[in-house]
Amino acid sequence: MSIKFRLTIMSFLQFFVWGAWLITIGTYCFIAKGWTGAQFGAIFSTLALSSLFMPALTGIIADKWLNAEKLYGILHILYGLVLFYVPYVNDPDTLYYVIFAAMICYMPTISLSNSIAYTILKNNSFDVVKVFPPIRVWGTIGFIVAMWTTNLTGSKDNANQFIIAAVMAIFLGIYSFTLPKCPPQKSIAKDASFIEQMGLSAFKLFANYKMALFFIFSMFLGAALQLTNMYGDAFLSGFESIPAYKESFIVQYSTIILSISQMSETLFILAIPFFLKRFGIKAVMSFAMFAWVLRFGLFAYGDPSFLGTTMIVLSCIVYGMAFDFFNISGSLFIETQTDSRIRSSAQGLL
């Protein structure tokens, strides 16, 4: 298999193992378990809590001590094993810690997958800006396939969604050990400072005004993104309580409707090289911020009526620009603006 095809498989599975349950865990907690919004909110917050420290820590490990592809594989296998336990959990307090453990393993793999792809492509003399987006688009396709699998197998309101993700996560973990080696840079000088020795140099990026502004906006947009991740499917499924909408397409196939967002991603990912070359990184990210406003405005006023459904679908289409033009472009921005010795740490910080 070619290098690009092998990375495409990694990208596809990376987001399949998340998409199988991320959008529907709210429906599972509210409908199957009958838990409260506060209880579910606490469970979902584990994504954010784990993201505060795990990507940066694993980035440091990959930069200094362990091959990135091996660390990536270990984390995915652990993630899959934890997900296998979810069906046996019957109270929200326990599920909080189980999902927290799963997120500690999974969240750092997002940035690690980027670092692995960039390293392998560069080692094989590929132009990252041109070659990476078509590979990354298959991650979005993987997310879509996972959402459809969950919806069409009747798993969106039961624990089977976690089993689907667990099986594929362990397969991905094993597969990652077959990827080309991505060893640590091991370029820290003996007289390096404590910060350099500990691999914390990426945090120095906050001293750069441009980088600091970029990371601050990343935090705000990351917060906005999670709103529909948490409650999008439960929000659409909730129209079932209104008699006129009980049998509507929106209610019956809410996860498939939301997958339009990821379909839109696939188009905008492929458009990123053109927009970056034509408008530059600053304008592309400005487009993303405006698109987020449209995303939530349209989604908030949508419902299963014809006009409301149109608004929801448009919201999902706009999501592609909102997400890709910031997240993917941001990842490329980090790749081109940071020193190679702290690149995995910088991706983890993002």
Q: Which residues of 54-72 are buried (b: 16+ CB within 10 A; e: fewer)?
A: bbbebbbbbbbebbbbbbb
- Whether residue 215 lies inside any domain: the answer is yes
Report the distance separating Cα 305 and Cα 160, nearest Å: 31
Residue 31 is encoded by which pair of tokens?
A: 């409908």
Q: Which residues of 224-234 are buried (b: 16+ CB within 10 A; e: fewer)?
A: ebeebbbbbbb
- Whether residue 134 lies inside any domain: the answer is yes
At residue 244, what are phi and psi to the nearest 5 degrees? -65, -25
14, 142 contact by CB (below 8 A): yes
Domain boundaries, position 113: 6-183+190-349
H/E run at residue 41: helix 37-64
The total domain count for the chain is 1
Residue 28 DSSP symbol: I
Report the distance separating Cα 37 and Cα 156, nearest Å: 18
In CATH, what number is assigned to the domain containing residue 293? Answer: 1.20.1250.20
Predicted confidence at residue 348, as pLDDT, reads 67
Closest CA to 159 of 109, 101, 98: 98
- Report the residue count for the chain: 350
281, 174 contact by CB (below 8 A): no
Predicted confidence at residue 285, as pLDDT, reads 79
Q: What is the mean pLDDT of each run of 10 residues along the chain (350 residues)?
A: 92 95 89 88 88 74 80 95 95 95 93 88 84 87 92 89 96 94 64 53 80 84 78 86 89 89 84 84 84 91 92 93 82 77 72
Q: Which residue has the tokens 């980035």?
A: 59
Q: Is 188 helix (H, G, I), strand (E, B) or coil?
A: coil
Kindly report each contact of residues 276-281 with a partner whose C-beta sits within 8 Å and lies 24 or more positions away, as own/partner: 276/129, 276/329, 276/332, 281/329, 281/333
The neighbour count for residue 35, using CB atoms within 10 Å, is: 19
- Whether residue 1 lies inside any domain: the answer is no
CA of 39: how far to CAs of 43, 44, 183, 223, 274, in Å?
7, 9, 41, 19, 44
CA of 163: how far to CAs of 81, 84, 170, 302, in Å?
10, 6, 11, 32
- Whether residue 218 lies inside any domain: the answer is yes
**Terminal-to-terminal C-alpha distance of the chain:** 31
Report the distance separating Cα 114 and Cα 131, nearest Å: 12
- Whether residue 251 lies inside any domain: the answer is yes
- Whether residue 234 lies inside any domain: the answer is yes
Predicted confidence at residue 82, as pLDDT, reads 97
- Whether residue 141 lies inside any domain: the answer is yes
Residue 99 is encoded by which pair of tokens?
A: 């999902």
